[in-house]
Amino acid sequence: MSKQTIGRYLVKRLEGVGVRHVFGIPGDYVLGFYDRLVESNMEVVGTCTEIGAGYAADGYARVNGVGCVCVTYCVGGLNVLNAVAGAYAEKSPLIVISGAPGVGERGRSPLLHHQVRDFQTQKQIYEKVTVATAAIENAKDAPEQIDDAIRACLKHKRPVYIELPRDMVDEICEGPDKFEMGVEKSDAGALKEAVDETAEMLRKAKRPVILGGVEIHRFGLQEALLKLVEKTGYPFAATFLGKSILSEKHAQSLGVYEGAMGREATRRVVEGSDSLLILGAFLTDINLGGFTAKLDVRKSILAGSEKISIGHHHYEDVVLGDFIDKLTKANLGKRRKAVMPAKKEVKPYKARGGRAITIKRFWKRMDEFIGDDTVVIADVGDSLFGAADLTVYKRTEFISPAYYTSMGFAVPGALGAQLGNEKMRPVVFVGDGAFQMTGHELSTIVRCGLNPIVFVLNNKGYTTERFIHEGPYNEIQNWAYHLWPQLVGDGSGMEVRTEGELEEALERAKATARCFTIVNVHLDKMDGSAALERLGKRLGQRV
């Protein structure tokens, strides 16, 4: 077997699983490995901050199927931690590589810079937000440690952590064999019983409905779900996190279900189901509209990647893809004709010249603006709640931290998402508060030659918090967001206060394809969507 250095072994494994870009910031403990990255076929994308690198790698992973962030020890690794936690919470396959003090430097516990407590501290912290951790401390075990970590990342669709001491990068190890993922198999008995019980429940149902979640996307099960939907004829909805798993133009689509926060017609159909088939969904407070959802567990089949629950029966060791495939082939009775709620006639948007733009009118116009080759990236708050009602087409992606809800995801997320699929132009919706956290990654976007369209919903503060619990702490300094192109040396910026100015901005944005566009949308501080008002009232009772 050929020999290889540990650094080059790790590079080959990253390339082999489809990583084409690595995000991060260098530091002395990781510079040697950065040289190996520069020599590789991958592109190193240096960001403004480590948290920006983490969000970018997460956005990349959601589009590409796996992402990678590479940082230095502790000051870098702990800076990126929040992004990794979000990726864990929302099942995004992210490989975290951190440099570390050399193994040979650690004798007699020297106080080396960047150290917090001891040499195990960072790894122990990462054990809480990853599905696997590996600290490379000898050449013999390094190949197996690296392979096991990457395999866990791809299997569970969650982050893993690889710590590479600087004196291990050029140590010689065994060369890479063919990377084998192994085929995850269902327990045949458990699979059969779960499918049989589900099929019987669905055959008896008068109002069956399918509710799909984010795992459909993470595990590449969109086509399998579509076959089931079209075989059964059942109406289907998606959760917040699962938005865009199937086209919302489909005749059986109910759009997004979000309890009382969402469209009333969708809520009635989903909650009125006497057999609700929930596939790959997280039943979180945001997905359930601040727990305004009324789902009867006795009438539900909850099938995820970790277990299947039917009423109060639980089945483990059943692969979600196997379950959907077998269920599609099972006897579910005659195909149903989906009973869909009557669709209200929607009048085309017509700009009203000098009238002040409102959030309601803004989202109505955006629903006509986004196209089939758009990836919508929504930050949290009203950027998310309003975007939930946008009509997502077949190839349109929708990306948002809709469960972990960490502000500041969207701009660096757009960087990663567009590098993950450069055929799709990001349309970014971000509040002014969230933009102030990570908007400087527009600098990285310029350096990479990307062209997202960024709408800053500028209401001079944290409007989501205002609706939950008002106070002076919700106010922030107003920035001239449209002038960012002057700061970073490229791009197009515009201010919007009226519906007429929004039309002009959209025309310029479409015509400006070579660089990013940023649109500063001025809104009243208490102008929130109906969904935000409902959520704020609900959460405000808990404050």
User: How buried is 59 (Cβ within 10 angstroms: 0-12 exposed, 13-18 middle, 19+ buried)?
Assistant: buried
Say if CB 274 and CB 208 are below 8 A apart.
Answer: yes
Examine the pLDDT at 394 and tell me if it is beyond 70: no
- The alpha helices in 95-219, defined as continuous H runs, are 121-126, 142-156, 188-204, 214-218
In terms of pLDDT, which residue wins out, 394 or 518?
518
In this prediction, residue 471 has a pLDDT band, given cuts at 50, 70 and 90, of: confident
Q: What is the mean pLDDT of the chain?
A: 92
Examine the pLDDT at 2 and tell me if it is beyond 90: no
In this prediction, residue 291 has a pLDDT band, given cuts at 50, 70 and 90, of: low
Rounded distance between C-alpha atoms, residue 471 and residue 376, angstroms: 31
What is the CATH architecture assignment of 3-174?
3-Layer(aba) Sandwich (3.40)
Give the count of beta carbons closer than 10 Å to the beta carbon of residue 108.
4
Packed helices 81-89 and 50-64: angle between N→C axes, nearest 10 degrees: 30
Q: What is the mean pLDDT of residues 453-457?
A: 98
Q: What is the mean pLDDT of residues 508-522?
A: 96
In this prediction, residue 290 has a pLDDT band, given cuts at 50, 70 and 90, of: low
Task: Give the residue range(s) of CATH 3.40.50.970 domains in the chain.
Answer: 3-174, 359-540
pLDDT per residue as tens digits for the range 336-388 = 888 888 877 778 889 898 999 999 999 999 999 998 889 999 999 889 888 88
- The DSSP-derived string for 238-295 is E-TTTTTSS-TTSTTEEEE-BTBTS-HHHHHHHHT-SEEEEES----TTTTTTTT---
Rounded distance between C-alpha atoms, residue 159 and residue 129, angstroms: 7
In this prediction, residue 538 has a pLDDT band, given cuts at 50, 70 and 90, of: low
Examine the pLDDT at 403 and tell me if it is beyond 90: no
Q: What is the mean pLDDT of residues 285-292?
A: 67
pLDDT for the residue 109: 64
In this prediction, residue 4 has a pLDDT band, given cuts at 50, 70 and 90, of: very high
Return the CATH fold of 190-329.
Rossmann fold (3.40.50)
pLDDT for the residue 527: 84
Examine the pLDDT at 250 and tell me if it is beyond 70: yes
The CATH classification number of 359-540 equals 3.40.50.970
Q: What is the mean pLDDT of residues 40-58?
A: 98
Could you tell me which residues come within 8 angstroms of residue 360 by beta carbon, excluding any fewer than 6 positions away? 529, 530
Question: Could you tell me the two tokens for 68?
Answer: 């990678």
Q: Over pLDDT 90: what percentage of the chain?
A: 73
Integer Rg of the chain from CA: 24
Q: What is the mean pLDDT of residues 109-114?
A: 74
pLDDT per residue as tens digits for the range 188-198 = 999 999 999 99
φ, ψ for residue 25, nearest 5 deg? -135, 130
Q: What is the mean pLDDT of residues 323-332?
A: 97
Rounded distance between C-alpha atoms, residue 375 and residue 520, angstroms: 20
In this prediction, residue 183 has a pLDDT band, given cuts at 50, 70 and 90, of: confident
In this prediction, residue 395 has a pLDDT band, given cuts at 50, 70 and 90, of: low
In this prediction, residue 405 has a pLDDT band, given cuts at 50, 70 and 90, of: confident
Upper half-sphere CA count for residue 306 (Cβ side, 13 Å): 6
Q: What is the mean pLDDT of residues 226-245?
A: 93
Task: Give the residue range(s) of CATH 3.40.50.1220 domains in the chain.
Answer: 190-329
In this prediction, residue 140 has a pLDDT band, given cuts at 50, 70 and 90, of: very high
**How are beta strands 425-431 and 313-315 bridged, if at all?**
unpaired
Examine the pLDDT at 111 and tell me if it is beyond 90: no
